Structure 1
Amino acid sequence: MSSSFAVAAILTAQSISAQVPGATPVAIHQAQAAWVIDYADDRCRIIRTFSRDGRKSVFYLESTSPNDGFRWLIAGDAVRQFNEGEPFEIQFGPGFESMQGISAAGLSLGDYGMAVRGTGFRFDAERTARIFAKLDEEDRERSIKANLETGEWLESDAVAVRAALARIDPADPEPQDSPETSDVISGAQIEWIELNSPEGGRHRLETGNFGPVMQAMKTCIDDLVTSWGLDVTQVRNQTKSPEWLNQDRIVSRIVENYPSRAVLRGQQAEFKIRVIVEPDGDVESCTLTALVGPEGDGFKSPACGEIRLWAKFAPAQGADGRPIKSFYQSTVRYVIPD
């Protein structure tokens, strides 16, 4: 079940951008409506629409768990002249420097049309490398290749992650951000989003301050985790996430059981797996979320069935080092080789 409600009352009014003499003109897109939170069983999403001379754009910010970070999507007039497959720059300003993305081929959003997507307010190679450091070398390279192929990363991102991996000792404890304030503090540094591409020009979405937006997202995520039967405080302060001990074996079984009809049609899919892991490592439940693929054509993945029967996990550890009930989340991509 999902519900939506406006959060405009906690947000500041939009600022008006000034043009810098001699700089490339910036097309200003003013907020058309209040921020809206869309709360569902498997994710939190915050949405706002913008308008420029009657032409509309939309911005989505989405997260599926406290440890998953967040993804954004922009569609409509602000990106309608971007070329598919070509790099663009985006800046969540003024607090963060611009970063590069790639316009994914075929990505669109209903009547808004052309869309671009990405993750975070900046590319954090160090944080990504710490996640990848837990994988064996083959899985690291597979993950890096997948991010490059899907357009999530540029070659420079892969280079930065590999460089960070060379510096990291997997045995070192992970640095802990303040779970209560880190995203809110980051959001307070943002007043606008600016996009730039050679063909599409410069466009700025006048979002207003992001601090309250990220606070609203945190509240939504806390409610989401509670609905899974977990203790939010324990999850946010855990020192170690659940570890999937026999992942290679189970993933092989999942891949082998890819629906034959989907293979014949060349259909690929991507979705997230969320597993609730008990303090003794047992699997309480497994859920597939955020399916991208032939879901409307009877597509069924065997992933959760295999995990419930055969998966083995080491439990999460709380702030005191004791096992706690928590969740494991991962992305499964069915990719049919050329």
Structure 2
Amino acid sequence: MGSRMGMAGLAPLLVAVPSLAAAKAPVELAPATPWNVHYADDYCRLARIFGTDKQKVTLSLEQDSPGASFRMTLAGSMFGAQNAKGDASITFGAMAEQKIMFFPGTVGADKDGQPAWIFGDSVRLKPYSAAEVAAAKENGYSTTFDTPITEADEAAVTSLLVGRPLRNPVRLKTGPMKAAFTAMRSCTDELLSHWGIDVARHRELSRWVMPVTEPGKWLKSSDYPRDMLAKSQPGIVRFRLSVGPDGLPTACHIQRSTNSKGFDDAVCKGVMRRARFEPALDKDGNPLASYYVNSVRFQF
């Protein structure tokens, strides 16, 4: 048993693999709706429907803070045949093919629910380069920093190809993604303003908040809530820390949680006690109030 935590502002390594020619030509699905941007209290969502009838696919992209990585969900009847979790072949435009882990699920109300593939927070338009992966390993990290995606990259991506484990690959004809991600940034900027963050100064940071202590040690096995332990109950908690100009956490907020409030309380108590940071610096090198987002997985 124990709790596991990834590095904040970091994402699991995604290694680009050579693109393999599909055995069958992909089914091309045109958009059936415009992009919709949903402003929620703790996240922003881009969503669009492609195709119709049995070939209808809903693509959702979510962020709960600014960055190049996002959560992704693909929903539709074609995603119901593969029941086991695993890796999916995902290619944005002419970027390198990626193998990304997904979990099967359902989106929508019970009677109208659609089968779905649910991806974590590590999806990117452009996978990490070999140099970025090597640098992370050289520095002793199992994860790499969320390096930026340029607006030129966003404009160059005009489709999403979904391959294995689908028997027949599907290409969603998104059109250039720049406008969609510009809308997403407007939403995440609004999130920051609600958190009391100086959005303008954060656009030009010379350094983001950096952990001084190892995030994987902020929570210990003894922090596992006893009642959850007795039930053998796992959990995943996404949290946000407000970090002052002195590098000390000033508040903890739970952004998403899969189980009971017991996990939420344990996470905030542990990270507020043990997390320490080098503060964010503006373009002139002056410290300023900022934030840190990460996830904790409780499991046996």
What residue in structure 2 maps to residue 39 of structure 1? 39
1:264–1:314 CA distance, 2 compared to 1 (3 A): same
* Candidates 206, 215, 226, aligned match of 1:260: 226
- Per-residue deviation, 1:68: 5.9
* Candidates 181, 196, 213, aligned match of 1:214: 181
* Candidates 268, 280, 304, aligned match of 2:246: 280
- 2:280 is the alignment partner of 1:316: yes
Q: Deviations over 1:6-56 (max 9, x none)?
A: xxxxxxxxxxxxxxxx97232233322221111122211111122334443
* Candidates 125, 145, 151, aligned match of 1:184: 151
State the alpha-carbon separation in 2 of the partners of residues 243 and 334 from structure 1: 24
1:249–1:92 CA distance, 2 compared to 1 (3 A): closer
> Which protein has the bigger helix share?
1
State the alpha-carbon separation in 1 of the partners of residues 100 and 146 from structure 2: 27
Query: SS of 2:284's equivalent?
Result: coil
1:117–1:176 CA distance, 2 compared to 1 (3 A): closer
Query: SS of 1:188's equivalent?
Result: helix
1:101–1:257 CA distance, 2 compared to 1 (3 A): closer
What residue in structure 2 maps to residue 120 of structure 1? 124
Query: SS of 1:197's equivalent?
Result: coil
What residue in structure 2 maps to residue 325 of structure 1? 289
Note the 1:152-231 alignment, pairs <5 A: 182-197=149-164, 199-231=166-198
Verify the 8 A CA contact 1:187 1:209 in the aligned structure 2: yes
- Per-residue deviation, 1:175: 11
Q: Which has the higher contact order (CA 8 A, sep 6+)?
A: 2
- Per-residue deviation, 1:229: 0.7
- 2:243 is the alignment partner of 1:294: no
- Per-residue deviation, 1:124: 0.7
**What 5-or-longer segments of structure 2 have no aligned partner?**
1-21
What residue in structure 2 maps to residue 232 of structure 1? 199
1:132–1:63 CA distance, 2 compared to 1 (3 A): farther
**TM-score, length basis structure 2:** 0.77
Query: SS of 2:201's equivalent?
Result: helix
1:39–1:231 CA distance, 2 compared to 1 (3 A): same
State the alpha-carbon separation in 1 of the partners of residues 231 and 163 from structure 2: 37
1:217–1:81 CA distance, 2 compared to 1 (3 A): same
State the alpha-carbon separation in 2 of the partners of residues 175 and 294 from structure 1: 27
Verify the 8 A CA contact 2:218 2:271 in the aligned structure 1: no
State the alpha-carbon separation in 2 of the partners of residues 184 and 97 from structure 1: 17
Query: SS of 1:219's equivalent?
Result: helix
Verify the 8 A CA contact 1:259 1:300 in the aligned structure 2: no
State the alpha-carbon separation in 1 of the partners of residues 134 and 237 from structure 2: 22
Note the 1:126-141 alignment, pairs <5 A: 126-127=131-132, 137=140, 140=141
1:322–1:35 CA distance, 2 compared to 1 (3 A): same
Q: Deviations over 1:145-184 (max 9, x none)?
A: xxxxxxxxxxxxxxxx7xxxxxxxxxxxx9985xxxx443
Query: SS of 2:237's equivalent?
Result: strand
State the alpha-carbon separation in 2 of the partners of residues 78 and 249 from structure 1: 38
State the alpha-carbon separation in 1 of the partners of residues 213 and 292 from structure 2: 13
1:86–1:252 CA distance, 2 compared to 1 (3 A): closer
State the alpha-carbon separation in 1 of the partners of residues 47 and 289 from structure 2: 32
1:77–1:277 CA distance, 2 compared to 1 (3 A): same
Note the 1:139-154 alignment, pairs <5 A: 140=141
What residue in structure 1 maps to residue 271 of structure 2? 307
Identify the range of structure 1 (61-70 vs 322-331) with the bigger mean alpha-carbon deviation: 61-70
Amino acid at match of 1:113: P
What residue in structure 2 maps to residue 169 of structure 1? none
Verify the 8 A CA contact 1:83 1:199 in the aligned structure 2: no
1:250–1:98 CA distance, 2 compared to 1 (3 A): closer
1:252–1:26 CA distance, 2 compared to 1 (3 A): closer
Identify the range of structure 1 (182-191 vs 36-45) with the bigger mean alpha-carbon deviation: 182-191
Verify the 8 A CA contact 2:28 2:173 in the aligned structure 1: yes
Verify the 8 A CA contact 1:241 1:328 in the aligned structure 2: no
Amino acid at match of 1:114: A
State the alpha-carbon separation in 1 of the partners of residues 75 and 232 from structure 2: 27
Verify the 8 A CA contact 1:32 1:51 in the aligned structure 2: yes
What residue in structure 2 maps to residue 29 of structure 1? 29
Identify the range of structure 1 (68-77 vs 304-313) with the bigger mean alpha-carbon deviation: 304-313
Query: SS of 2:169's equivalent?
Result: strand
**What 5-or-longer segments of structure 1 have no aligned partner?**
1-21, 144-160, 162-173
Structure of higher CA gyration radius: 1
Verify the 8 A CA contact 1:33 1:50 in the aligned structure 2: yes
State the alpha-carbon separation in 2 of the partners of residues 38 and 97 from structure 1: 29
What residue in structure 2 maps to residue 100 of structure 1? 99
- Per-residue deviation, 1:203: 0.9
